[in-house]
Homo-oligomer: A and B are copies of this chain.
Amino acid sequence: MLDTTSVSPRALLARRKPGFSLEQAFYTSQEIFDLDLEAIFFRTWIYVGVEPDVPDEGDVMVVDIGRASVLILRDDDGEIRAFHNVCRHRGARIVHDEKSSVGKLVCKYHAWTYDLDGKLLRAEHMGADFDTSCHGLKPVHLKSVEGLLFICLADEAPADIDDLAEKMGPYLKPHAIRDTKVAHQVDLIELGNWKITMENNRECYHCAGNHPELTIPLFEYGFGFSPESMDETKAKEAHRYECMVDDLHGEWEGSGFPSKEIDHLDDRVTGFRTQRLPIDRAGESQTLDTKVASTKLLGELTEAKMGGLSFWTQPNSWHHFMSDHIVTFSVIPLSPDRTLLRTKWLVHKDAVEGVDYDLKRLTEVWIATNDQDGTLVGYQHSGVKSPAYEPGPYSPYTEGLVEKFVNWYCLRLADHLG
C-alpha cells in the first residue's frame, strides 16, 4: 500500500502517474480538501446559477461555498451584483433564505442597512468618527456569460473568462438563457469527494450499465469506445454515427447554430469544452420519449431538432441546452466526503406548467440519472478510502475527459503551491 497520509500535497503532485486516478489523499484528506477550497474554489471562476434566479430588481439568491456565503442580487438598475453575505459590524450573516426579495439589505442583529450596491447606508450609535464609506459589503467578482452566472472569490479574478465568454457567446445566444425561468431545482448531496463527482460527469463509460433513462436520448457512440474490441457490425455503426455528427454539425452551423467541439479543458485557468451532440430517436430533447418537454421553444428557435449543446466548465459545472429546455448543474464541495450537486431546469419564461410543459416529463431523466450517479459516487468514495486502494488506469478511449479534469486540477494546485 502506498502511504499517502504523511506525504505533502506537493510531493503527491510530483509523483502523480498520468493516465491514472489520483492517490487516496486527494479524495479523503481534510488537508487537501481545505487546499481545494483555497486553491480552486476561492481562486477560479465558479458557476453558481443563472440570471433568471434573480429575475427582478431586489431579488437575492444566497450561494454558500465552503465557509463563504455570497449574495447574488439584482440591483435597482437591473444590474446583477455579488457580495459577501457578512455584516461589517460584528460579522453576522445578513440573508438567510436561498431566495428572497428585498428593498435594502438589513442585518437583523443591529439593523445596519446596506444599499443593493453594497454601500452602508445606516448604522446607529457608532459615533461621529465612524466612516460608513469604509464599511460597505465586500464585493465578489461576477460574470454573466449569456445569463450563466460565474463568481470568483479571489482578489483578482482570472482574465480568461472573457475569452470563454467570447467563444461561447454564439453557441449559447440562440438558447436565450436570460428569457428563461427556473422551472425546477433539486439539491442532491452525494456521499463522495467533489472530484469524484466531477470525474463521474466526465465520462459515459458507466452509462450503459447504470443509466437506462439517459441512454434513451444519448447515442452510445457519443462518448468514446475501444475500436479494438468492436466487431464489424459495431464498427460500422460507430462510423455511421460519426458521419451523422459531421452532417448535423454542417447543417446546424449552416443555419447559424455553432456546434463544433471547442476544447480548452486543461490548457487554461478557466477551462471549458463545448459541443452540440445529436439526440437519438425523435431527436428533440433529453426526455424519455426524446420529444420536447416544453412546447414553447427557447428564444427565437422554431426547430425542435437542435440536438443538445453541451457545455462543461472546470472545476464545477456542466449544462445541456436543447431547443425547449436547459438543464444546468453546479457542484459545491461540502466536506472531503460530501458534495452538493445543484440541478436547475429552465424553460421559456412564458411557458406555463401544465399547459406548455409537464414538470415530471421535463425532469425525470436527470432526476433518475443524478440519483444513479450519486450512488456510484458513494461506491467509489467508500472504496477509495480503503488502505488497499491504489490509483487505477483510465481507459484511453472513454475516460479522456476525466484525465483532462485531473490534469487541470493538478495544474491549478501546483500553480497555487508555487
Q: What B residues does A388 contact at CB under 8 A?
A: 68, 84, 86, 138
CB neighbours (8 Å) of A119 from chain B are none
**Using an 8 Å CB-CB cutoff, how does the interface string of A144-171 with B read, 1 for contact, 0 for none?**
0000000001000000000000000000
> Among the listed B88, B383, B395, which residue makes an inter-chain contact with A94, where contact means beta carbons less than 8 Å apart?
B383
**Which residues in A have some Cβ–Cβ distance to B below 8 Å?**
21, 42, 66-69, 84-94, 96, 108-111, 124-128, 130, 135, 138, 153, 199, 205-206, 209-210, 224-226, 228-229, 376, 379-380, 382-398
Residue of B nearest to A90 (CB): B21
**Least Cβ distance of A41 to chain B in Å?**
11
Pick from B90, B229, B382: contact of A69, CB under 8 Å: B382
Closest 3 CB pairs of A and B: A84-B388, A93-B383, A91-B384
Complex Cα distance, B391 from A131, in Å, reads 15
CB distance from A404 to the nearest CB of B (A): 15
Which residue of B is nearest A123, CB measured? Answer: B395
A67: chain B residues within 8 A (beta carbon) = 385-387
Given known pairs A226-B126, A385-B67, A398-B125, the reply for A379 and B205 (CB within 8 Å) is no
Q: Which residues of B contact A127 (CB under 8 A)?
A: 226, 228, 395-397
What B residues does A210 contact at CB under 8 A?
108-109
User: Chain B residues near A395 (CB, 8 Å)?
Assistant: 124-127
SS of A interface (majority): loop
**When chains A and B are docked, how far (Å) is the Cα of A392 from the Cα of B395?**
53
- A378 to B: closest C-beta gap in Å: 8
Q: A67-B385, A86-B383, A125-B226 are in contact. List 20 more A-B contacts (CB 8 A).
A: A21-B90, A42-B387, A67-B386, A69-B382, A84-B386, A84-B388, A89-B393, A90-B380, A92-B376, A92-B384, A108-B209, A109-B206, A109-B210, A109-B376, A124-B205, A124-B229, A125-B205, A125-B224, A126-B393, A127-B396
| Contact A96-B379, Cβ < 8 Å, known A109-B206, A226-B126 | yes
Task: Report the minimal beta-carbon distance from A225 to chain B, rounded to whole angstroms.
Answer: 6
Chain B residues whose CB sits within 8 angstroms of the CB of A385 once the complex forms:
67
Which of chain B's residues has its CB closest to A67's CB? B385
| Docked pose: A135 CA to B209 CA in angstroms | 21
Of B90, B91, B229, which contacts A125 at CB under 8 A?
Answer: B229
Q: Chain B residues near A398: list those with CB within 8 A.
A: 125
CA distance A94 to B380 in the complex (A): 9
A38 to B152: give the CA distance in the assembly, Å. 40
B206 touches A379 (CB 8 A): no
* B124 close to A86 (CB less than 8 A): no
- In the complex the two chains form, what is the Cα distance from A84 to B392 in whole Å? 15
- CA of A398 to CA of B206, assembled, Å: 59
* Contact indicator A86/B376 (Cβ below 8 Å): no
Residues of B within 8 A of A108 (CB): 209-210, 376, 379
Given known A110-B209, A229-B125, A386-B67, contact A130–B393 (CB-CB < 8 A): yes
- In the docked arrangement, what's the CA distance between A25 and B165, Å? 39
Q: Which of A21, A109, A396 has the most CB of B within 10 A?
A: A109
Complex alpha-carbon distance, A388 and B94, angstroms: 13
Closest to A379 in B: B92
For A386, what are the chain B residues with a Cβ–Cβ distance below 8 Å? Answer: 67-69, 84-86, 91, 93
> Nearest-CB distance from A5 to chain B (Å)?
9
Contacts of A224 in B (CB 8 A): 125
